[in-house]
């Protein structure tokens, strides 16, 4: 085993692909001709695979997860509004993999939101929906019956509930990534992100002044949007990714009119004893009421399309 | 004939090993790394990959004001030490784990929301060696509980 681990991964991958392509093309009656084709095909496949492989392992983009988004909303002093959630009865509408993935993210965001506000019955209902969508996507054991039972048994222990939500989200995310279904993994993230943005914008009731902390959270989603676009850019050529990219670019047109800039250098102060580094900078943000109105409308439009 | 079969078997084993390494990454991230988050709740995002000695990976993440984050960088025992840096948008290093004794866990309080880059680098045991070790590296983020 140790010896195997000493082999560079890129070498193993190249060898594996070459073996796969060679074995697929083998036919003794046409050996010479096919050999040429196989070599050419192998070269192209290898180059493309290596490019993808290197790209994917060198750069990651981490979006705020549904759980983090819900925490940001709650800590901004927002209230709970059940009417904002995607109704659980919509579940049967989701028949394509893209819709299942998007709404797995959306229901994950909803269940994170319900759990942070101790709406335990709703949390269980939304978890059940998330389970059905995860099952529909073939994500094995991401959310099993034990998860639901554990959730029901710990409904009054928010910390355990948060851990269960975090665990199930990680399971889905990891399963899709490792099963080489990265576009579906990204779609779950995009669904969760847009739902968080939808809930946050709706909770402000269109006002830029009622809850400035929540507005700040919303404005800074401009940075997350660039992360989403970078993520999707990696899967150009995939129809689902291109569809999501189009939707996100519609949002970008509006977010581009939001100004965020650091007016001082980013400073970091490290407290060695407590192992904490504090990061700060003076920054300016600017969003007009007109732009905010457009943003609310566009987020609503995109989210409505996702849940329909 | 037997020699060919042996080669094929060895190749198949290598391929299986690479796939296994990726799959083991998840078990490792969940079973080993996540436990170090302790009083921080894991955000649920899965960031792990197989890296080879000398390689780096970067992760772009927005950190929000008023939050306290815990960053954990884990690696399998077979890999040489892994270090991480936190870098701002102008490529300035805000934190370097090497300067803190090679720690793999650190907390960050953010007073102004920022997009930052976490750069993880696997050191090399022997730079002149052509044989490099590959293994799972996982980067997890936790958010301080209320």
Which chain B positions have a beta carbon within 8 Å of A5's beta carbon? 17, 21, 78, 133-135
Name which of B57, B108, B146 is nearest A279 (Cβ-Cβ): B108
Contact A191, A111 (CB under 8 A): no
Sequence spans of domains, chain A: 2-58, 66-256+291-307
* CA A212 to chain centroid: 26
Residues 6+ apart with CB under 8 A from A86: A103, A106, A107, A110, A195, A307
- For residue A218, the tally of other CB atoms under 10 A from its CB is 26
- For residue A212, the tally of other CB atoms under 10 A from its CB is 13
Secondary structure element (H or E) that encloses residue B110, with its range: strand B105-110
Asked if the interface predicted TM-score (ipTM) of this complex is over 0.90, the answer is no
User: How far is the C-alpha of A51 from the C-alpha of A42, rounded, in Å?
Assistant: 14
Q: Do B95 and A268 touch (CB under 8 A)?
A: yes
Q: Do A6 and B105 touch (CB under 8 A)?
A: no
Residue B2's pLDDT band, with cuts at 50, 70 and 90, is low
User: How far is the C-alpha of A285 from the C-alpha of A178, rounded, in Å?
Assistant: 39
Rounded percentage of chain B residues whose pLDDT exceeds 70: 84
Q: At which residue do the structure tokens 């077979």 appear?
A: B78
User: How far is the C-alpha of B94 from the C-alpha of A103, rounded, in Å?
Assistant: 37
Contact A155, A120 (CB under 8 A): yes
Question: Which tops the pLDDT comparison, A39 or B132?
Answer: B132
Q: Which tokens sit at A37?
A: 């084709």
Q: Do B45 and A8 touch (CB under 8 A)?
A: no
Q: At which residue do the structure tokens 């870098």 appear?
A: B87
The CA-based angle A301-A60-B93, given to 5 degrees, is 115
Residues 6+ apart with CB under 8 A from A212: none
Contact B48, B138 (CB under 8 A): yes
pLDDT at A54: 46
- For residue B48, the tally of other CB atoms under 10 A from its CB is 24
Q: Do B132 and A220 touch (CB under 8 A)?
A: no
Which chain A positions have a beta carbon within 8 Å of B59's beta carbon? 59-62
Instruction: Supply the DSSP symbol for A115.
Output: H
Domain B2-144 in CATH 2.40.128: no
pLDDT at B27: 86
Interface test with A, best of B47, B62, B120, B122 (most A CBs within 10 A): B62
Closest CA to A97 of A143, A140, A138: A138
Which pLDDT tens digit goes with each residue over A124-148?
999 999 999 999 999 978 888 888 8
pLDDT at A99: 98
DSSP A142-173: SS-HHHHHHHHHTTT-HHHHHHHHHHHHHHHH
Torsion sign over Cα A230, A235, A240, A242? positive
| pTM, 2 dp | 0.82
Instruction: Supply the DSSP symbol for B30.
Output: I
Which pLDDT tens digit goes with each residue over A169-188?
999 999 998 888 999 999 99
pLDDT at A85: 98
User: How far is the C-alpha of A209 from the C-alpha of A146, rounded, in Å?
Assistant: 44
Q: What is the mean pLDDT of residues A222-243?
A: 95
Which pLDDT tens digit goes with each residue over B89-99?
899 999 999 99
Closest CA to A183 of A127, A243, A223: A243
Residue A188, SS3 per DSSP: helix
- For residue B15, the tally of other CB atoms under 10 A from its CB is 17
Which pLDDT tens digit goes with each residue over A233-272?
999 999 999 999 999 999 999 999 999 998 999 999 999 9
Which pLDDT tens digit goes with each residue over A63-118?
999 999 999 999 999 999 999 999 999 999 999 999 999 999 999 999 999 999 99
Name which of A62, A65, A277 is nearest B59 (Cβ-Cβ): A62
Q: At what angle do helices A97-116 and A239-255 cross, to 10 degrees?
A: 50
Q: How many CA atoms lie within 13 A of B28 on its CB side?
A: 22
């Amino acid at each position: 085993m140790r010896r195997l681990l000493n082999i560079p991964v890129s070498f193993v991958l190249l060898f594996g692909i070459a073996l796969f392509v060679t074995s697929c093309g083998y036919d003794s009656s046409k050996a010479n001709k096919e050999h040429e084709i196989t070599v050419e095909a192998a070269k192209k496949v290898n180059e493309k695979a290596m490019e993808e492989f290197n790209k994917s392992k060198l750069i990651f983009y981490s979006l705020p997860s549904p759980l983090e988004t819900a925490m940001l909303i709650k800590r901004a002093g927002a209230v709970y509004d059940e009417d904002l959630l995607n109704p659980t009865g919509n579940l049967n509408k989701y028949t394509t993999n893209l819709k299942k993935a998007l709404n797995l993210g959306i229901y994950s965001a909803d269940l994170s939101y319900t759990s942070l506000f101790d709406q335990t019955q709703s949390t269980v209902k939304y978890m059940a929906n998330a389970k059905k969508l995860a099952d529909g996507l073939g994500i094995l054991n991401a959310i099993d019956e034990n998860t639901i039972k554990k959730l029901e048994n710990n409904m009054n222990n928010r910390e355990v509930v948060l851990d269960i939500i975090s665990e199930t989200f990680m399971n889905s995310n990891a399963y899709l990534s490792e099963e080489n279904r990265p576009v579906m993994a990204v779609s779950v993230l995009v669904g969760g992100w847009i739902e968080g943005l939808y809930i946050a914008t709706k909770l402000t009731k269109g006002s830029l002044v009622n809850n400035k902390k929540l507005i700040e959270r919303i404005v800074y989603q401009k940075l997350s949007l660039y992360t989403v676009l970078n993520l999707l850019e990696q899967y150009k050529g995939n129809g689902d990714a291109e569809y999501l990219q189009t939707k996100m670019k519609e949002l970008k047109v509006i977010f581009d009119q939001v100004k965020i800039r650091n007016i001082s250098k980013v400073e970091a102060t490290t407290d060695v004893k407590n192992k904490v580094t504090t990061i700060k900078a003076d920054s300016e943000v600017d969003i007009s009421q007109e732009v905010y109105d457009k943003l609310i409308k566009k987020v609503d439009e995109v989210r409505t399309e996702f849940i329909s | 004939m037997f020699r060919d079969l042996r080669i094929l078997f060895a190749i198949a084993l290598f391929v299986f090993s690479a796939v296994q390494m990726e799959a083991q990454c998840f078990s490792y991230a969940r079973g080993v790394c996540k436990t170090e988050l302790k009083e921080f709740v894991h955000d649920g995002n899965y960031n792990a990959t197989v890296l080879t000695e000398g390689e780096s990976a970067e992760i772009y993440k927005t950190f929000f004001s008023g939050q306290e984050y815990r960053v954990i960088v884990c690696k399998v025992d077979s890999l040489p030490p892994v270090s991480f840096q936190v870098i701002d948008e102008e490529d300035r290093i805000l934190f370097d784990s090497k300067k803190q004794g090679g720690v793999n866990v650190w907390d960050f309080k953010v007073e102004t929301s920022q997009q930052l880059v976490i750069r993880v680098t696997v050191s090399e045991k022997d730079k002149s060696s052509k044989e490099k070790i590959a293994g799972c590296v996982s980067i997890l983020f936790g958010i301080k509980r209320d």
